[in-house]
A and B are shown apart, each in its own frame.
Chain A
Amino acid sequence: MSIEQLAQLQALLGAALTAVDPVAFWREQLPEQPLDEDGLRIAALLVAKLRFQRLTNASPLANDWFAADPQGFTEAFRSYHHEVVSSSLDPWREADAFAIWAREHRGTEN
Protein backbone atom coordinates (compact mmCIF):
# COMPACT_ATOMS: atom_id res chain seq x y z
CA MET A 1 0.00 0.00 0.00
CA SER A 2 1.49 3.35 -1.05
CA ILE A 3 1.46 6.56 0.95
CA GLU A 4 -1.16 7.95 -1.43
CA GLN A 5 -3.37 4.91 -0.88
CA LEU A 6 -2.93 5.22 2.87
CA ALA A 7 -3.94 8.87 2.74
CA GLN A 8 -7.03 8.00 0.68
CA LEU A 9 -7.98 5.27 3.13
CA GLN A 10 -7.65 7.65 6.08
CA ALA A 11 -9.75 10.30 4.34
CA LEU A 12 -12.48 7.73 3.76
CA LEU A 13 -12.33 6.64 7.38
CA GLY A 14 -12.68 10.25 8.50
CA ALA A 15 -15.74 10.68 6.31
CA ALA A 16 -17.26 7.40 7.51
CA LEU A 17 -16.81 8.28 11.17
CA THR A 18 -18.75 11.51 10.76
CA ALA A 19 -21.41 10.19 8.37
CA VAL A 20 -25.05 9.94 9.43
CA ASP A 21 -24.77 6.17 8.95
CA PRO A 22 -21.10 5.18 9.20
CA VAL A 23 -21.71 1.53 8.37
CA ALA A 24 -23.77 2.26 5.25
CA PHE A 25 -21.13 4.77 4.14
CA TRP A 26 -18.33 2.27 4.55
CA ARG A 27 -20.20 -0.57 2.85
CA GLU A 28 -20.82 1.69 -0.13
CA GLN A 29 -17.35 3.22 -0.37
CA LEU A 30 -15.10 0.29 0.41
CA PRO A 31 -17.05 -2.99 0.30
CA GLU A 32 -13.86 -4.94 -0.33
CA GLN A 33 -12.49 -3.97 3.08
CA PRO A 34 -15.04 -5.00 5.72
CA LEU A 35 -14.71 -3.57 9.22
CA ASP A 36 -16.13 -4.56 12.58
CA GLU A 37 -19.40 -2.70 12.14
CA ASP A 38 -20.25 -2.50 15.85
CA GLY A 39 -16.79 -1.09 16.47
CA LEU A 40 -17.21 1.44 13.67
CA ARG A 41 -20.53 2.60 15.16
CA ILE A 42 -19.07 2.90 18.66
CA ALA A 43 -16.05 4.81 17.34
CA ALA A 44 -18.37 7.21 15.47
CA LEU A 45 -20.37 7.82 18.66
CA LEU A 46 -17.17 8.52 20.58
CA VAL A 47 -16.01 10.92 17.86
CA ALA A 48 -19.28 12.83 18.24
CA LYS A 49 -19.02 12.76 22.04
CA LEU A 50 -15.47 14.14 21.95
CA ARG A 51 -16.54 16.88 19.55
CA PHE A 52 -19.47 17.76 21.80
CA GLN A 53 -17.06 18.08 24.74
CA ARG A 54 -14.57 20.07 22.69
CA LEU A 55 -17.30 22.47 21.65
CA THR A 56 -18.90 22.94 25.05
CA ASN A 57 -15.47 23.44 26.64
CA ALA A 58 -14.75 26.43 24.40
CA SER A 59 -18.07 27.93 23.32
CA PRO A 60 -20.18 30.07 25.66
CA LEU A 61 -22.82 30.08 22.93
CA ALA A 62 -23.05 26.28 22.98
CA ASN A 63 -23.04 26.18 26.77
CA ASP A 64 -25.78 28.75 27.11
CA TRP A 65 -27.88 27.04 24.45
CA PHE A 66 -27.43 23.64 26.12
CA ALA A 67 -28.34 25.05 29.53
CA ALA A 68 -31.47 26.73 28.19
CA ASP A 69 -32.65 23.94 25.90
CA PRO A 70 -30.75 20.63 26.23
CA GLN A 71 -32.91 18.74 23.77
CA GLY A 72 -32.90 21.51 21.21
CA PHE A 73 -29.16 21.96 21.48
CA THR A 74 -28.55 18.23 21.17
CA GLU A 75 -30.57 18.13 17.96
CA ALA A 76 -28.73 21.19 16.67
CA PHE A 77 -25.37 19.65 17.52
CA ARG A 78 -26.30 16.47 15.67
CA SER A 79 -27.03 18.50 12.54
CA TYR A 80 -23.88 20.57 12.96
CA HIS A 81 -21.75 17.45 13.40
CA HIS A 82 -22.97 15.95 10.15
CA GLU A 83 -23.03 19.17 8.13
CA VAL A 84 -19.78 20.85 9.17
CA VAL A 85 -16.45 19.07 8.82
CA SER A 86 -14.48 19.11 12.04
CA SER A 87 -11.40 20.73 10.61
CA SER A 88 -9.44 21.33 13.81
CA LEU A 89 -8.63 19.62 17.09
CA ASP A 90 -8.48 23.09 18.58
CA PRO A 91 -11.58 23.75 20.75
CA TRP A 92 -11.57 27.46 19.94
CA ARG A 93 -11.74 26.85 16.21
CA GLU A 94 -14.58 24.42 16.86
CA ALA A 95 -16.34 27.18 18.78
CA ASP A 96 -15.79 29.60 15.89
CA ALA A 97 -17.14 27.11 13.37
CA PHE A 98 -20.19 26.45 15.52
CA ALA A 99 -20.87 30.19 15.91
CA ILE A 100 -20.91 30.59 12.12
CA TRP A 101 -23.17 27.57 11.69
CA ALA A 102 -25.51 28.72 14.45
CA ARG A 103 -25.76 32.21 12.97
CA GLU A 104 -26.95 30.70 9.70
CA HIS A 105 -29.30 28.18 11.28
CA ARG A 106 -30.54 29.96 14.35
CA GLY A 107 -30.27 33.57 13.35
CA THR A 108 -28.02 34.54 16.22
CA GLU A 109 -24.32 34.76 17.00
CA ASN A 110 -24.49 34.94 20.76
Chain B
Amino acid sequence: MGTPTSSPRIGIALQPEVRYLELLQPVFDDADYFEIAPETMWARDKSGEWCSNDFFDVFLEEGRKRRKPFVAHAVYGSIGTVDPGDGERQQAWLHRIAKDHEAFRFEWLTDHLGASVLGEHSLALPIALPMNEAMAGVVRDRLLQWQQLVPDVGFENSAFYFLLGEWRDEPAFFRQILTAPRTHLLLDLHNVHTIASNLGEDAAGYLQRLDLTRVIEIHLSGGVDSPPDWLPNKRSLRLDSHDDDVPEAVWQLFEQVLPRCVNLRGVTLERMEGTVDAADVPTIHRELHRIREAVQRVH
Protein backbone atom coordinates (compact mmCIF):
# COMPACT_ATOMS: atom_id res chain seq x y z
CA MET B 1 0.00 0.00 0.00
CA GLY B 2 2.95 2.36 -0.24
CA THR B 3 4.47 4.37 2.54
CA PRO B 4 2.18 4.44 5.56
CA THR B 5 2.12 7.46 7.81
CA SER B 6 1.50 7.45 11.52
CA SER B 7 -1.64 9.52 11.27
CA PRO B 8 -3.71 10.79 8.35
CA ARG B 9 -3.25 14.45 7.56
CA ILE B 10 -5.83 17.10 6.76
CA GLY B 11 -5.94 18.82 3.38
CA ILE B 12 -7.83 21.52 1.58
CA ALA B 13 -8.25 22.12 -2.13
CA LEU B 14 -6.62 25.15 -3.77
CA GLN B 15 -8.90 26.55 -6.46
CA PRO B 16 -7.98 28.81 -9.38
CA GLU B 17 -9.82 31.88 -8.15
CA VAL B 18 -8.23 34.93 -6.55
CA ARG B 19 -11.21 35.60 -4.28
CA TYR B 20 -11.26 31.99 -3.02
CA LEU B 21 -7.56 32.13 -2.27
CA GLU B 22 -7.81 35.50 -0.52
CA LEU B 23 -10.81 34.57 1.62
CA LEU B 24 -9.34 31.28 2.75
CA GLN B 25 -5.88 32.57 3.69
CA PRO B 26 -6.71 32.30 7.43
CA VAL B 27 -7.88 28.73 6.92
CA PHE B 28 -4.93 27.41 4.94
CA ASP B 29 -2.72 27.16 8.02
CA ASP B 30 -5.23 24.70 9.50
CA ALA B 31 -4.45 22.23 6.72
CA ASP B 32 -1.43 19.92 6.51
CA TYR B 33 -1.36 19.70 2.71
CA PHE B 34 -2.91 21.22 -0.38
CA GLU B 35 -4.80 19.41 -3.10
CA ILE B 36 -4.64 20.83 -6.60
CA ALA B 37 -6.12 19.90 -9.95
CA PRO B 38 -3.07 20.25 -12.21
CA GLU B 39 -5.21 21.23 -15.21
CA THR B 40 -6.29 24.42 -13.43
CA MET B 41 -2.68 25.61 -13.79
CA TRP B 42 -2.48 25.10 -17.55
CA ALA B 43 -2.66 27.50 -20.48
CA ARG B 44 -1.71 27.27 -24.13
CA ASP B 45 1.41 28.88 -25.50
CA LYS B 46 1.67 30.31 -29.02
CA SER B 47 2.79 26.98 -30.46
CA GLY B 48 -0.31 25.29 -29.06
CA GLU B 49 1.55 23.41 -26.32
CA TRP B 50 0.41 23.44 -22.73
CA CYS B 51 2.29 25.84 -20.49
CA SER B 52 1.73 27.18 -16.99
CA ASN B 53 -0.78 29.88 -16.17
CA ASP B 54 -0.47 32.34 -13.28
CA PHE B 55 -1.93 29.92 -10.74
CA PHE B 56 1.08 27.64 -11.12
CA ASP B 57 3.25 30.15 -9.27
CA VAL B 58 0.46 31.20 -6.91
CA PHE B 59 -0.14 27.62 -5.74
CA LEU B 60 3.56 26.84 -5.56
CA GLU B 61 4.09 29.90 -3.38
CA GLU B 62 1.24 28.93 -1.05
CA GLY B 63 2.96 25.61 -0.47
CA ARG B 64 6.41 27.13 -0.10
CA LYS B 65 5.54 29.84 2.37
CA ARG B 66 3.46 27.52 4.53
CA ARG B 67 5.78 24.53 4.06
CA LYS B 68 2.96 22.27 3.01
CA PRO B 69 3.15 19.43 0.46
CA PHE B 70 0.81 18.85 -2.46
CA VAL B 71 -1.33 16.05 -3.76
CA ALA B 72 -2.65 16.04 -7.34
CA HIS B 73 -6.31 15.39 -8.09
CA ALA B 74 -6.64 15.59 -11.84
CA VAL B 75 -9.78 16.12 -13.90
CA TYR B 76 -8.80 15.36 -17.50
CA GLY B 77 -7.09 11.98 -17.19
CA SER B 78 -10.21 10.18 -18.47
CA ILE B 79 -8.89 6.97 -16.96
CA GLY B 80 -11.63 4.81 -18.49
CA THR B 81 -11.50 5.95 -22.10
CA VAL B 82 -11.14 2.89 -24.32
CA ASP B 83 -10.74 4.47 -27.77
CA PRO B 84 -7.06 4.17 -28.83
CA GLY B 85 -7.58 7.44 -30.70
CA ASP B 86 -7.31 9.18 -27.34
CA GLY B 87 -3.76 7.90 -26.89
CA GLU B 88 -2.01 11.00 -28.15
CA ARG B 89 -4.02 13.24 -25.85
CA GLN B 90 -3.35 10.90 -22.94
CA GLN B 91 0.38 11.09 -23.59
CA ALA B 92 0.32 14.88 -23.82
CA TRP B 93 -1.67 15.00 -20.57
CA LEU B 94 0.84 12.76 -18.82
CA HIS B 95 3.73 14.81 -20.17
CA ARG B 96 2.25 17.98 -18.69
CA ILE B 97 1.49 16.24 -15.37
CA ALA B 98 5.16 15.26 -15.29
CA LYS B 99 6.17 18.90 -15.68
CA ASP B 100 3.95 19.89 -12.77
CA HIS B 101 5.25 17.01 -10.68
CA GLU B 102 8.81 18.30 -11.15
CA ALA B 103 7.79 21.49 -9.34
CA PHE B 104 5.15 20.28 -6.88
CA ARG B 105 6.47 16.80 -5.99
CA PHE B 106 2.98 15.36 -5.63
CA GLU B 107 2.68 12.81 -2.83
CA TRP B 108 0.06 10.98 -4.85
CA LEU B 109 -1.89 11.39 -8.08
CA THR B 110 -5.56 10.61 -8.53
CA ASP B 111 -8.34 11.32 -10.99
CA HIS B 112 -12.02 10.44 -11.19
CA LEU B 113 -13.11 6.98 -12.24
CA GLY B 114 -14.99 7.15 -15.50
CA ALA B 115 -14.53 8.32 -19.06
CA SER B 116 -14.87 11.96 -20.00
CA VAL B 117 -13.59 11.40 -23.54
CA LEU B 118 -16.14 9.18 -25.29
CA GLY B 119 -15.34 8.48 -28.91
CA GLU B 120 -15.06 11.83 -30.65
CA HIS B 121 -16.81 13.61 -27.77
CA SER B 122 -14.79 15.33 -25.05
CA LEU B 123 -17.32 15.93 -22.31
CA ALA B 124 -15.35 16.85 -19.15
CA LEU B 125 -17.90 14.95 -17.01
CA PRO B 126 -16.77 11.46 -15.98
CA ILE B 127 -19.29 8.93 -17.28
CA ALA B 128 -19.83 5.53 -15.70
CA LEU B 129 -17.95 2.50 -16.98
CA PRO B 130 -19.29 -0.99 -17.66
CA MET B 131 -18.14 -3.04 -14.70
CA ASN B 132 -16.40 -5.99 -16.32
CA GLU B 133 -12.92 -7.48 -16.54
CA ALA B 134 -12.03 -5.85 -19.88
CA MET B 135 -12.86 -2.42 -18.48
CA ALA B 136 -11.01 -3.11 -15.25
CA GLY B 137 -7.98 -4.02 -17.32
CA VAL B 138 -8.06 -0.69 -19.16
CA VAL B 139 -8.11 1.23 -15.88
CA ARG B 140 -5.44 -0.97 -14.31
CA ASP B 141 -3.09 -0.38 -17.25
CA ARG B 142 -3.64 3.35 -17.10
CA LEU B 143 -2.83 3.48 -13.40
CA LEU B 144 0.40 1.62 -14.13
CA GLN B 145 1.27 4.28 -16.73
CA TRP B 146 0.67 7.01 -14.17
CA GLN B 147 2.90 5.20 -11.69
CA GLN B 148 5.84 5.87 -13.98
CA LEU B 149 5.48 9.50 -12.84
CA VAL B 150 4.10 9.29 -9.32
CA PRO B 151 4.49 6.01 -7.40
CA ASP B 152 1.18 6.28 -5.52
CA VAL B 153 -1.82 6.64 -7.83
CA GLY B 154 -5.52 6.03 -7.69
CA PHE B 155 -9.03 6.97 -8.66
CA GLU B 156 -11.98 8.58 -6.95
CA ASN B 157 -15.36 6.88 -6.82
CA SER B 158 -17.29 9.29 -9.01
CA ALA B 159 -20.82 10.59 -8.57
CA PHE B 160 -22.46 9.09 -11.62
CA TYR B 161 -26.00 10.11 -12.50
CA PHE B 162 -26.62 6.89 -14.39
CA LEU B 163 -24.80 3.60 -14.19
CA LEU B 164 -23.96 0.82 -16.62
CA GLY B 165 -24.78 -1.89 -14.15
CA GLU B 166 -25.75 -2.09 -10.51
CA TRP B 167 -24.23 0.21 -7.90
CA ARG B 168 -23.92 -2.72 -5.52
CA ASP B 169 -21.38 -4.25 -7.93
CA GLU B 170 -19.03 -1.27 -7.81
CA PRO B 171 -16.99 -2.45 -4.78
CA ALA B 172 -16.17 -5.71 -6.58
CA PHE B 173 -15.25 -3.73 -9.73
CA PHE B 174 -12.87 -1.61 -7.66
CA ARG B 175 -11.25 -4.79 -6.36
CA GLN B 176 -10.73 -5.98 -9.93
CA ILE B 177 -8.95 -2.74 -10.75
CA LEU B 178 -6.89 -2.21 -7.63
CA THR B 179 -4.63 -5.23 -7.68
CA ALA B 180 -1.20 -3.66 -8.17
CA PRO B 181 0.84 -2.32 -5.27
CA ARG B 182 0.49 1.39 -4.55
CA THR B 183 -2.77 1.73 -6.49
CA HIS B 184 -5.43 3.27 -4.30
CA LEU B 185 -9.00 4.38 -3.85
CA LEU B 186 -9.83 7.99 -3.14
CA LEU B 187 -13.10 7.62 -1.25
CA ASP B 188 -15.38 10.60 -1.86
CA LEU B 189 -18.10 10.30 0.73
CA HIS B 190 -20.32 12.97 -0.75
CA ASN B 191 -20.30 11.01 -3.99
CA VAL B 192 -21.41 7.91 -2.08
CA HIS B 193 -24.14 9.98 -0.43
CA THR B 194 -25.16 11.43 -3.81
CA ILE B 195 -25.56 8.09 -5.56
CA ALA B 196 -27.27 6.52 -2.56
CA SER B 197 -29.74 9.43 -2.39
CA ASN B 198 -30.49 9.35 -6.10
CA LEU B 199 -30.95 5.58 -6.24
CA GLY B 200 -32.69 5.29 -2.88
CA GLU B 201 -30.05 2.83 -1.72
CA ASP B 202 -28.10 2.36 1.49
CA ALA B 203 -24.78 4.23 1.61
CA ALA B 204 -23.60 2.39 4.72
CA GLY B 205 -24.22 -0.97 3.08
CA TYR B 206 -22.18 0.10 0.04
CA LEU B 207 -19.32 1.17 2.30
CA GLN B 208 -19.45 -2.18 4.08
CA ARG B 209 -18.68 -3.90 0.78
CA LEU B 210 -15.71 -1.66 -0.10
CA ASP B 211 -12.15 -2.75 0.57
CA LEU B 212 -11.31 0.23 2.74
CA THR B 213 -7.70 -0.89 3.19
CA ARG B 214 -7.15 0.55 -0.31
CA VAL B 215 -8.28 4.05 0.67
CA ILE B 216 -5.44 6.55 0.55
CA GLU B 217 -7.56 9.69 0.81
CA ILE B 218 -11.08 10.68 1.78
CA HIS B 219 -12.94 13.61 0.26
CA LEU B 220 -15.55 15.55 2.16
CA SER B 221 -17.71 18.14 0.46
CA GLY B 222 -21.29 19.27 0.04
CA GLY B 223 -23.77 19.66 -2.74
CA VAL B 224 -27.32 20.64 -3.56
CA ASP B 225 -30.38 19.14 -5.24
CA SER B 226 -31.02 19.90 -8.90
CA PRO B 227 -33.76 22.46 -9.58
CA PRO B 228 -37.10 20.74 -10.31
CA ASP B 229 -37.34 22.36 -13.74
CA TRP B 230 -34.26 20.47 -14.95
CA LEU B 231 -36.33 17.35 -15.54
CA PRO B 232 -39.67 16.96 -17.33
CA ASN B 233 -41.08 15.04 -14.36
CA LYS B 234 -39.86 17.74 -11.90
CA ARG B 235 -37.78 15.21 -9.98
CA SER B 236 -34.70 16.58 -8.21
CA LEU B 237 -31.46 14.65 -8.08
CA ARG B 238 -28.63 15.22 -5.65
CA LEU B 239 -25.70 16.93 -7.39
CA ASP B 240 -22.01 16.55 -6.66
CA SER B 241 -21.61 20.30 -6.85
CA HIS B 242 -19.11 21.02 -4.06
CA ASP B 243 -20.89 24.26 -3.33
CA ASP B 244 -22.27 23.84 0.15
CA ASP B 245 -21.40 22.75 3.69
CA VAL B 246 -20.64 19.09 4.35
CA PRO B 247 -24.06 17.59 5.24
CA GLU B 248 -24.56 15.64 8.46
CA ALA B 249 -25.25 12.44 6.51
CA VAL B 250 -21.73 12.65 5.08
CA TRP B 251 -20.20 13.33 8.50
CA GLN B 252 -21.91 10.18 9.74
CA LEU B 253 -20.44 8.13 6.89
CA PHE B 254 -17.04 9.62 7.69
CA GLU B 255 -17.27 8.50 11.32
CA GLN B 256 -18.30 5.02 10.18
CA VAL B 257 -15.47 4.41 7.72
CA LEU B 258 -12.61 6.16 9.48
CA PRO B 259 -11.62 3.26 11.77
CA ARG B 260 -11.56 0.87 8.81
CA CYS B 261 -9.36 3.04 6.58
CA VAL B 262 -6.16 1.70 8.06
CA ASN B 263 -3.92 2.99 5.26
CA LEU B 264 -5.50 6.41 5.05
CA ARG B 265 -3.01 9.22 4.42
CA GLY B 266 -5.21 12.26 3.98
CA VAL B 267 -8.68 13.71 4.42
CA THR B 268 -9.41 16.61 2.07
CA LEU B 269 -12.12 19.22 2.35
CA GLU B 270 -13.28 20.40 -1.07
CA ARG B 271 -15.17 23.52 -2.13
CA MET B 272 -15.59 24.68 -5.70
CA GLU B 273 -14.33 28.06 -6.82
CA GLY B 274 -17.07 30.65 -7.05
CA THR B 275 -18.94 29.14 -4.10
CA VAL B 276 -17.11 30.66 -1.15
CA ASP B 277 -18.14 33.97 0.40
CA ALA B 278 -16.83 35.62 3.55
CA ALA B 279 -19.74 34.16 5.47
CA ASP B 280 -18.58 30.62 4.55
CA VAL B 281 -15.09 30.99 5.99
CA PRO B 282 -15.98 30.25 9.64
CA THR B 283 -17.87 27.15 8.52
CA ILE B 284 -14.91 25.90 6.49
CA HIS B 285 -12.68 26.58 9.49
CA ARG B 286 -15.01 24.53 11.72
CA GLU B 287 -15.20 21.73 9.16
CA LEU B 288 -11.41 21.39 9.08
CA HIS B 289 -11.31 21.24 12.87
CA ARG B 290 -14.08 18.66 12.93
CA ILE B 291 -12.11 16.50 10.50
CA ARG B 292 -8.99 16.77 12.64
CA GLU B 293 -10.86 15.90 15.84
CA ALA B 294 -12.37 12.83 14.20
CA VAL B 295 -9.02 11.68 12.83
CA GLN B 296 -7.27 12.19 16.16
CA ARG B 297 -9.93 10.16 17.96
CA VAL B 298 -9.43 7.18 15.66
CA HIS B 299 -5.86 7.18 14.35
Binding site for B on A (CB under 8 A): 1-3, 6-7, 9-15, 17-18, 33, 35-36, 38-43, 45-47, 50-51, 54, 85-90, 92
Taking a contact as CB atoms under 8 Å apart, the answer to whether A50 and B123 are in contact is yes
- Across chains A and B, the number of contacting residue pairs, with CB separation under 8 Å, is 113
Residues on the A chain within 8 Å of B44, using CB:
90, 92
Chain A proximity mask over B209-250: 1 for CB below 8 Å, otherwise 0: 000000000000000001000111101010100000000000
User: CB-nearest residue of chain B relative to A45?
Assistant: B230
A18 CA / B123 CA spacing, docked (Å): 9
Taking a contact as CB atoms under 8 Å apart, the answer to whether A39 and B198 are in contact is yes
Q: Which of B82, B198, B235 is A3 in contact with, Cβ under 8 Å?
A: B82
Taking a contact as CB atoms under 8 Å apart, the answer to whether B117 and A36 are in contact is no
Tell me which of A18, A40, A89, A92 has the highest count of chain B C-beta atoms within 10 A of its own C-beta. A89
Binding site for A on B (CB under 8 A): 43-44, 76, 78, 81-84, 89, 115-125, 127, 130, 132, 134-135, 138, 160-164, 198, 226, 230-233, 235, 237, 239
A33 CA / B232 CA spacing, docked (Å): 22
User: CB-nearest residue of chain A relative to B198?
Assistant: A39
Residues on the B chain within 8 Å of A51, using CB:
123-124
A1 CA / B165 CA spacing, docked (Å): 13
Q: Smallest CB–CB gap between B44 and chain A, Å? A: 4
Residues on the B chain within 8 Å of A87, using CB:
120-122
A11 CA / B219 CA spacing, docked (Å): 30
Taking a contact as CB atoms under 8 Å apart, the answer to whether B162 and A40 are in contact is yes
Given contacts A13-B127, A42-B226, A89-B76, contact A36 B83 (CB under 8 A): no
Given contacts A10-B82, A14-B120, contact A40 B161 (CB under 8 A): yes
User: CB-nearest residue of chain A relative to B135?
Assistant: A6
Taking a contact as CB atoms under 8 Å apart, the answer to whether A39 and B160 are in contact is yes
Residues on the A chain within 8 Å of B138, using CB:
3, 6
Taking a contact as CB atoms under 8 Å apart, the answer to whether B134 and A6 are in contact is yes
Given contacts A13-B118, A40-B161, contact A1 B230 (CB under 8 A): no
Taking a contact as CB atoms under 8 Å apart, the answer to whether B82 and A38 are in contact is no
Q: Which of A2, A7, A33, A86 is B121 in contact with, Cβ under 8 Å?
A: A86
Residues on the A chain within 8 Å of B120, using CB:
11, 14, 85, 87
Residues on the A chain within 8 Å of B78, using CB:
89
Tell me which of B115, B125, B135, B230 has the highest count of chain A C-beta atoms within 10 A of its own C-beta. B125
Taking a contact as CB atoms under 8 Å apart, the answer to whether B83 and A46 are in contact is no
Q: Which of A1, A38, A46 is B231 in contact with, Cβ under 8 Å?
A: A38
A77 CA / B43 CA spacing, docked (Å): 23
Given contacts A6-B134, A10-B83, contact A89 B124 (CB under 8 A): yes
Given contacts A14-B119, A35-B162, A89-B124, contact A42 B132 (CB under 8 A): no
Taking a contact as CB atoms under 8 Å apart, the answer to whether B231 and A10 are in contact is no
Residues on the A chain within 8 Å of B235, using CB:
38
